[in-house]
Structure 1
Amino acid sequence: MGQVASTDKAKPVSLKQVQITDDFWNYYINLVRDVVVPYQWEAINDNVEGAERSGAVNNFKIAAGLEKGDFYGYVFQDTDVAKWLEAVAYLLVTKRDAALEQVADEMIEIIGKAQQEDGYLNTYFTIKEPDMKWKNLTECHELYSAGHMIEAGVAYYEATGKRNLLDIVCRIADNIVDVFGDGPGQIAGYDGHQEIELALVKLYGVTGNEKYLELSRYFIDKRGHKPSFFEEEAERRGWTTHWNKNKIHIDHEYFQAHLPVREQNAAVGHAVRVVYMLAGMADVARETGDKSLLEACRRLWDNIASRQMYITGGIGSMAHGEAFSFDYDLPNDTVYSETCASIGLIFFAHRMLQLEPNSRYADVLERALYNTVIAGMSRDGKHFFYVNPLEVTPEVCDGRNKNFNHVKPVRQEWFGCACCPPNIARLLASLGEYMYSVKGNTIYSHLFIGGETELSLGGTNVRLNQQSSMPWEGTARYEVTVSQPATFALALRIPDWSSKAEVLVNGTAYSITDKVADGYAIIERQWTTGDTVELVLEMPVMRVRSHPLVKQNAGKVALQRGPLVYCAEEADNGPLLQRLMLPQDAQLEVAYDANLAGGLKVITAQALRLQLEQWGTQLYRTDSNVSLEPTVATFIPYYAWANRDKGEMAVWVKEHV
């Protein structure tokens, strides 16, 4: 097995070393702290009037013997509590909050009481089906749920130094080590929903216990081999299914178990599971130096990013199975594009940047972050999208066409299956982890987010103070403070949305013509305190067209400026957006609107609108005499849609030649 040398790996700069001061992103981080996390705590305690019941906290109380009652919710309901705790942990890193920490500690105490003597922790099986533990890994998310709790335990320990939840999750993992493997009496299988793989690597990272890393590798290596574990498991259980009274049908592609992971060439099946699996694969490749695993990650990344990803960074085009379909199948109105899938794509991109700093990963990370992820939450922090469409007609979504039942024209307060809201919270609370990484003597700047970062490089303490005007303007300025003069490189990403980049060092132009490697401008020199670097990126409004094989977008165009994808809304353009046409030669103007979604830049253009009056009652016509009237088309950032009255929305509009 080929190995990757440890010196070839980059290391992310931790959340503890970063203080974000960016106006754009601090709004969302403060929203998570002040609104989202408190709101979600109330939601998982069933205290939000009008929201779907959760039952998540009460399930733990029942399992702990503190309350009487029956289990409520999905088989994976425990993960809502785990992700909430993980988000709390990240918030405590950047700002200690004694009251919030006490609430978390009390919840952790309840979790500890719900844990069984052998380390097993799952309220569904403790309360409802104790005899079915580990008997339906295909459907019942036991390892998935354990993985989320392990992630929470690691994060809470790193944030507070308290071992209470870490000790709980170590016992969970120890139990899993005992249960799974190829030894006598062990289960030689894996979970239907990947998550445990990346969680075990995190636990290995904080404990140094190699059995956790080895178990993660075991789950990855075992997946997809014949005979089918899921079929053998179903046979032992009599082919029953958890979800209804029918016989279980196993679609191996849905579970990414159709082939061993190293032999898979295209992303198939449930989109969240794919990217969680790939994040775990990248983790194991990083820690073990497994080149074949890294090559599989590259191959599947290329398939997703070049053939199955929406312009917004959304993935998973089918509602059926919340899944990938096939290359270039990217419908806009029936799209699924689950918020969690884009978050998982960010997790995968972040890990690939550690394996090989390349701007193609950071470009996608940025695209998903600025578009799908923050579009998944309203500006009030209390309403959320599970599905992220690129075209919406409310009366179709609310009507009798069942193909659109999953698409919502407005964000919801909460969901019975509430994976997305706490996922958004934990990602935004940990945003500082995604900004920088260090490889050798090079500091890589992946995201243009204002803030201060402190790190150690070759015995020198380095502080970077980044000031960013993005996403509205294309400048980022870095001020360097060092404990002593030192020679190292600062690598600044040149994003795919900018056709021209200039660098100034201490106010003087610095040529990067032959200094761009893998999409990063490398500035290597001796640095002293007070040195500055400014990156100036051209940020035009770009007309984006799809590959010709994306038939849904044939003859259409979308607008993007910087990292932001734009869309047309009925509130600005009137109803029946399909009548809107954007001439190829239309001038695209950018203006600031202080009254919309906290202030943003809109794009306007002289456009055309198809007139309906001449059609009368005719359904079809043979003549070509159609009337077009001039109109002004307005486009707003996609992340800001659905923050006004319910109405139509479209990212792609017809292009008029």
Structure 2
Amino acid sequence: MTSPMPFLLAVGLALGALPAPAQQRADYPIQAVPFTKVKLTDAFWQPRLKTNTTITIPASFQRCEATNRVKNFEMAAAKSGKFATTFPFDDTDIYKTLEGASYSLSLYPDKELAAYLDVLIDKVAKAQEPDGYLYTARTIDPAHPHPWAGAQRWEKERELSHELYNAGHLYEAAVAHYQATGKKTLLNIALKNADLVCSVFGPGKRVVAPGHEIVEMALVKLYRVTGKPEYLQTAKFFLEARGQYKGYDPKSPDVWRNGQYWQDDKPVVAQKEAEGHAVRAEYLYSAMADVAALTGDRQLLAAVDTIWQNMVSKKFYVTGGTGAVPGGERFGQNYELPNATAYNETCASVAHIYWNQRMFQLHGDSKYADIMEKVLYNGLLSGVGLDGKSFFYSNAMQIKNSASFPQTEPARVGWFECSCCPTNLARLFPSLPGYVYGQNGKDIYVNLFVSGSADLAVNNKAVRLTQTNNYPWSGDLKFTVEHAATSDFNLLVRIPGWARGQAMPSDLYTFATPSAAKVTIKVNGKPVSYALQHGYAVLARKWKKNDVVEVSLPMEVRTVQAHPNVPDNVGKVALQRGPVVYCAEWTDNEGKASNIIVPVGTAFTAVEKPEVLNGITQLTASVPVVKVDPATNTISTVRQTLTAIPYYAWANRGKGEMTVWFPQQVTDVDLVTRRAVEATHAK
């Protein structure tokens, strides 16, 4: 649909007393095609979404039960007991899993799951206080709340309490549940809480910059559902409350307590760089885009554009990860992108998807979808194991075990004490259909290459578009107009930057060598020329039923170089084929990955391996590797077959070395004595 108005009006009528605006004054120029209108049949994503439904979501609910997260709500309802988990934001694990389960019901209707959601939502409702307050860490025993909560409501919101963070995830879950099921049970809880929040915070009332952002973008979602202006006004107010605290002091050992960590060191319209805690930051930037779109605030738009450019030019891993520094889970300085200590929290990848989707909707430029694709197929997907129930909180770029570089080899685990990442993935994956297409009037944008069908409306007339492909392993894409009650629309197919010789929409990463391969497009079997507009091939014609568009993207293996200001990657290359970034893992490479050299001119072969790691395209090449013979004190290089797998699939076959970046030549040898080794291990 071309605007949110039909949806807003329909929801307003369904809710009865809640107003819907007669006219939307401003909004994103491009609207995402709703997830309820896109049905997937994709060979790559469909099994993963099914696994999310059958394994990840049930496991998350089971773990919420087993770790007493559900019990907290039961005790809050009874006003009796003692808060039974560790963090006051543990409530959000239930909200996020509710959100994911709601999206999942749209993909895979399930009466048993729907019934369980009804029971869980009833428990949430009973835990809510009469005025709408919902925060089990206080409600269970108001006289003895969680230490992070403070003696009174909201008094530690900026620093520790996460009261508004909990509210934000409640709102996100409520909107998803309503959209997927049509039920108002969770939505009514959210609206009651949001009305309380709006009565407490605002001009002339309590002022705070929420410590962990998400309530801002969540309030915008409630505004879209109800049309109630107070929700948008309060979201904007929370943004404008920032800028009260000093910036980060690199000499201070307390990285958790400074204005920059909270994105609160300067007003949002004056912020120029991606800074502080990466997840919080990217939720904030998503909200800035929302409010800029809905209010026409040009200063806010200019700020979020500038921050995005800083991120993509100086603070972004080649796999799509963000948040380089473990201390504070934060963005580092410009070009601070270490491999061995890379943090790359999985939640940051989730937030990054949200942010780039909004940037696309603002500007209609393919570079935002390029980044979204890179994150999806690499940095985000690596956060969950192939089993659907084991996870990474942080996503490493290099695991090296040697005398001079001892590391603890990471293993995927089923749950964390702070288990934000598993539940964040549970809600992101089933919402994927909503990221495939965008629409602005008669312009239909194809952002992601995911097989399935989409039901759209152009000038209130039905259009059904079907995708068929084997992406990301093949670049042959097919789009069929299954139904067209109107012929008057333009199809804009994203031509990825990597298919146009651009590794990134900045100079942070570049392809080491140029390629002569071209993108070709056919309509009904005949080659056509096309205009490229902001990275989209614009196909404007009079469409009719069964028209077929075929796009061929070159799927070469490319070597990627980092900007010379990234010290860890000087003289190294990464491997990419299509949107997929590769790594070498110990199990395929004679027990090591840190000794592999990829010289200039190395030729790679791509081989389909349906039996490996649930089906991948594997890369192989003959390369030199460094061998050390302790018996003779000799070092040599020998030829060996390098086998590379998609980065997202690493650490599914046990612990061992892994690397994304490969040196192109030997430039030095680091000699380490036994005494130094023993001292290093002792530390």
TM-score (norm 1): 0.90
Cα distance in 2 for partners of 1:483, 1:361 equals: 29
Check 1:615–1:318 CA distance in 2 against 1; reply closer, same or farther (3 A cut): farther
- Structure 2 residue aligned with 1:511: 529
Check 1:483–1:617 CA distance in 2 against 1; reply closer, same or farther (3 A cut): closer
Shift of 1:190: 2.2
561-570 or 478-487: which moved more?
478-487
1:73 aligns with 2:86: yes
479-488 or 416-425: which moved more?
479-488
Per-residue displacement from partner, 1:566-599 (whole Å, max 9, x unpaired)?
A: 0000001123422211121221111112221111
Shift of 1:228: 7.7
- Structure 1 residue aligned with 2:300: 293
Equivalent of 1:642 in 620, 645, 651: 651
- Structure 1 residue aligned with 2:8: none
Cα distance in 1 for partners of 2:255, 2:309 equals: 33
Cα distance in 2 for partners of 1:6, 1:505 equals: 36
- Structure 2 residue aligned with 1:193: 212
- Structure 2 residue aligned with 1:107: 120
- Structure 1 residue aligned with 2:192: 171
1:262 aligns with 2:269: yes
Cα distance in 1 for partners of 2:203, 2:292 equals: 22
Equivalent of 1:530 in 529, 533, 546: 546
Cα distance in 1 for partners of 2:595, 2:193 equals: 57
Shift of 1:627: 2.4
Cα distance in 2 for partners of 1:98, 1:577 equals: 47
- Structure 2 residue aligned with 1:35: 55
- Structure 2 residue aligned with 1:609: 625
Q: How does 1:487-636 map to 2 (within 5 A)?
A: 487-499=488-500, 500-512=518-530, 515-613=531-629, 627-636=636-645
167-176 or 283-292: which moved more?
283-292
Q: What SS class does the counterpart of residue 423 from structure 1 fall into?
A: helix
1:449 aligns with 2:450: yes
Shift of 1:247: 11
1:145 aligns with 2:166: yes
- Structure 1 residue aligned with 2:509: none
Q: What SS class does the counterpart of residue 55 from structure 2 fall into?
A: helix
Does the 8 A contact of 1:394 with 1:409 survive in 2? no
Check 1:339–1:531 CA distance in 2 against 1; reply closer, same or farther (3 A cut): same
1:12 aligns with 2:32: yes
Code of the residue aligned with 2:413 in structure 1: it is Q
Cα distance in 2 for partners of 1:213, 1:525 equals: 39
Shift of 1:95: 2.7
Q: What SS class does the counterpart of residue 575 from structure 1 fall into?
A: coil
- Structure 2 residue aligned with 1:475: 476
- Structure 1 residue aligned with 2:225: 206
Shift of 1:108: 0.5
Check 1:614–1:59 CA distance in 2 against 1; reply closer, same or farther (3 A cut): closer
Shift of 1:154: 1.0
- Structure 2 residue aligned with 1:44: 64
Cα distance in 2 for partners of 1:179, 1:453 equals: 42
Equivalent of 1:331 in 319, 329, 338: 338
Code of the residue aligned with 2:383 in structure 1: it is G
Does the 8 A contact of 1:201 with 1:216 survive in 2? yes
Per-residue displacement from partner, 1:266-289 (whole Å, max 9, x unpaired)?
A: 111100011000001111111111
Does the 8 A contact of 2:560 with 2:574 survive in 1? yes
- Structure 1 residue aligned with 2:137: 124
Cα distance in 2 for partners of 1:277, 1:615 equals: 57
Per-residue displacement from partner, 1:128-184 (whole Å, max 9, x unpaired)?
A: 54533211012221101100001111111111111111110001101101111232x
Shift of 1:335: 0.7
- Structure 1 residue aligned with 2:9: none
Check 1:146–1:157 CA distance in 2 against 1; reply closer, same or farther (3 A cut): same
Equivalent of 1:372 in 340, 360, 379: 379
- Alignment length (residue pairs): 614
Code of the residue aligned with 1:161 in structure 2: it is G
Code of the residue aligned with 1:94 in structure 2: it is L
Cα distance in 1 for partners of 2:176, 2:401 equals: 40
Per-residue displacement from partner, 1:475-533 (whole Å, max 9, x unpaired)?
A: 11110033434221000001011132111111111102xx1011000001111111111
Q: What SS class does the counterpart of residue 664 from structure 2 fall into?
A: strand
Cα distance in 1 for partners of 2:194, 2:372 equals: 30
Cα distance in 1 for partners of 2:121, 2:465 equals: 36
Q: What SS class does the counterpart of residue 314 from structure 1 fall into?
A: coil
Q: What SS class does the counterpart of residue 488 from structure 2 fall into?
A: strand
Cα distance in 1 for partners of 2:25, 2:662 equals: 48
Shift of 1:645: 2.2
Equivalent of 2:45 in 25, 39, 47: 25
Shift of 1:611: 2.3
Shift of 1:393: 3.1
Q: What SS class does the counterpart of residue 333 from structure 2 fall into?
A: coil
Does the 8 A contact of 1:572 with 1:634 survive in 2? yes
Q: What SS class does the counterpart of residue 312 from structure 1 fall into?
A: coil
- Structure 1 residue aligned with 2:485: 484
- Structure 1 residue aligned with 2:20: none
Code of the residue aligned with 1:182 in structure 2: it is P
Does the 8 A contact of 1:497 with 1:539 survive in 2? no
TM-score (norm 2): 0.87
Cα distance in 2 for partners of 1:157, 1:524 equals: 36
Q: What SS class does the counterpart of residue 545 from structure 1 fall into?
A: strand
Does the 8 A contact of 2:319 with 2:374 survive in 1? yes
104-113 or 592-601: which moved more?
592-601
Cα distance in 2 for partners of 1:248, 1:648 equals: 30
- Structure 1 residue aligned with 2:660: 651
Show structure 1 runs of 5+ residues with no match: 47-53, 230-245, 619-625
Check 1:273–1:524 CA distance in 2 against 1; reply closer, same or farther (3 A cut): same
Per-residue displacement from partner, 1:438-480 (whole Å, max 9, x unpaired)?
A: 0121000000000000010113210001012210010111100
What percentage of aligned pairs have identical amino acids? 39
Shift of 1:68: 4.0
Does the 8 A contact of 1:58 with 1:67 survive in 2? no
Q: What SS class does the counterpart of residue 633 from structure 1 fall into?
A: strand
385-394 or 97-106: which moved more?
385-394
Check 1:162–1:589 CA distance in 2 against 1; reply closer, same or farther (3 A cut): same
124-133 or 469-478: which moved more?
124-133
Cα distance in 2 for partners of 1:270, 1:633 equals: 37
Does the 8 A contact of 2:607 with 2:619 survive in 1? yes
Does the 8 A contact of 1:460 with 1:486 survive in 2? no
Does the 8 A contact of 1:200 with 1:216 survive in 2? yes
